[in-house]
Amino acid sequence: MFGSCRTRAPSSLEKVTAELLSELDAKAARGLWDEKRGKDRRKLRVDCRIYHVARNGEGVDTSIGKTRDISPGGIGFVSGTHFQRNASLLVSVTLPEGGVKHFPCKVAYCRFVRKNWYLTGVKLTQLPATAPSFGDESGKADESSPVDAPRVETPGWNPALLFLAAVTDAAPASDEDFARVVALSKWPDPLVRRATVPVFQGTGGECGVASLMELLDDAEPEVQGAAADALGELRAAQAAERLLALLDAPNVGVTLCAAEALVGMGDKSGYDAVARCVRGEAVFNRRAARVLGMIVGRSFPATSEGVVSARQYLQANPRNT
């Protein structure tokens, strides 16, 4: 019923992660690595799994990594996956004496370490009832900090994601499964709501499009953006008016998703909004450059060079933006 997740496991994980973590510690000690973390973090070296919605719209992926440190409000880990800032994740940490703790969280930063490897820092979105405690720094639990300390759980979180992954693989969903997916699209956790998008996209038709249009009003920008992307891929012209409204969204990422979706429908109304994004925040201007190219019939890759080319184009072709 629930299916399974696709797992990307780097080869020789134990050896590679040990080298990476030692390298980071050495650089930090010599002042060659700018630490993006609070002083209250404690060293913790245990295996972890990171559950996240696949960016290619194929359900739920699982990445494998190794934690670096932990605090009452966050976790640092290395893995072979680059995560977008503010992306919703579920980090499952292996306890030193067996068992697993699951932490819903959001990405605070994701930094390149070496080819195909990244250091990610996350903030817990549901703080434990007590601070996460894993014993001493070697990873051995002590009697004063039991591994089964109480904490806040997210009931049904993982089964919900596994169900959505299975339904995505079997798309289009049956009527019964589709009704359950619609219910999950109202789920409190944004990662679960985000995971309903590929199911609705795979279903298509009036029901699928209508459900995606509802997600355009989601409180989480990541969910809004994913829904806009899906509607664009479906060329859902009935969503054009709603997408036009998102060109003025407070979140730049959502604006870009809406603009790109509209371009796919032949509507270039997003030019002005995209042009502002090209000139704006570095975190968004690479995608903005690519979308601008789609609008004006040029090829601006989503790279720093593409941003330079897009800005040169805007300078050479001024409009009231």
> Using an 8 Å Cβ cutoff, are 17 and 77 in contact?
no
Task: Tell which wins on pLDDT, 174 or 41.
Answer: 174
Other Cβ atoms within 10 Å of 34 Cβ, number: 8
Share of residues in the chain with pLDDT > 70 (%): 74
Per residue, what are the HEC states of 79-109?
Answer: ECCCCCCCCEEEEEEECCCCCEEEEEEEEEE
Angle, CA of 156, 160 and 163, to the nearest 5°: 140
CA dihedral 216, 219, 224, 226 (to 10 degrees): -130
**Predicted local confidence at residue 59, as pLDDT:** 57
In whole angstroms, what is the distance from residue 177 CA to residue 188 CA?
19
Q: Is 235 left (phi over 0), alpha (psi -120 to 50) or beta?
A: left
HSE, side-chain direction, 13 A CA sphere, residue 188: 8
Q: Mean pLDDT, to the nearest integer, of 220-238? A: 93
Cα 290 to its chain centre, rounded Å, is 20
Query: Does 316 score more than 90 pLDDT?
Result: yes
**Predicted local confidence at residue 239, as pLDDT:** 96
**Predicted local confidence at residue 60, as pLDDT:** 63
Residue ranges with strand state E in the chain: 6-8, 42-43, 47-53, 60-71, 74-79, 88-94, 100-114, 117-124
**Predicted local confidence at residue 180, as pLDDT:** 84
Query: Does 62 score more than 80 pLDDT?
Result: no
Q: Which of 90-99, 129-138, 223-232 has the highest mean pLDDT?
A: 223-232
Query: Does 90 score more than 90 pLDDT?
Result: no
End-to-end Cα spacing for the chain: 51
Q: What DSSP state is assigned to residue 238?
A: G
Query: Does 290 score more than 60 pLDDT?
Result: yes
User: Scanning the structure block, which residue is given the tokens 């359950």?
Assistant: 180
In whole angstroms, what is the distance from residue 40 CA to residue 31 CA?
18
Q: Which domains does the chain have, with CATH numbers?
A: 6-124 (2.40.10.220), 157-316 (1.25.10.10)
Other Cβ atoms within 10 Å of 96 Cβ, number: 18
Query: Does 27 score more than 80 pLDDT?
Result: no
- Quickly state the pLDDT bin for 209 (edges 50, 70, 90): very high
**Predicted local confidence at residue 154, as pLDDT:** 39
Closest of 111, 89, 124 to residue 35, by C-alpha: 111
Query: Does 42 score more than 90 pLDDT?
Result: no
- Please give the backbone phi and psi of residue 240, each rounded to the nearest 5 degrees, phi first: -55, -45
Q: Mean pLDDT, to the nearest integer, of 63-74? A: 85
254-270 pLDDT, tens digit per residue, is 999 999 999 999 999 99
How confident is the prediction for the chain on average, in pLDDT?
77
- Quickly state the pLDDT bin for 69 (edges 50, 70, 90): confident
**Predicted local confidence at residue 266, as pLDDT:** 94
Q: Which amino acid is at 142?
A: D
**Predicted local confidence at residue 138, as pLDDT:** 38
Query: Does 2 score more than 60 pLDDT?
Result: no
Q: Which amino acid is at 55?
A: R
Tokens coding 113: 């370490």
**Predicted local confidence at residue 11, as pLDDT:** 44
**Predicted local confidence at residue 166, as pLDDT:** 72
Beta bridge partners of 107: 122
Query: Does 8 score more than 60 pLDDT?
Result: no
> Using an 8 Å Cβ cutoff, are 95 and 147 in contact?
yes
Give this prediction's pTM.
Answer: 0.59
**Predicted local confidence at residue 255, as pLDDT:** 95
Q: Mean pLDDT, to the nearest integer, of 303-321? A: 86
101-152 pLDDT, tens digit per residue, is 777 788 888 888 887 888 899 988 755 444 444 443 333 333 332 222 223 3
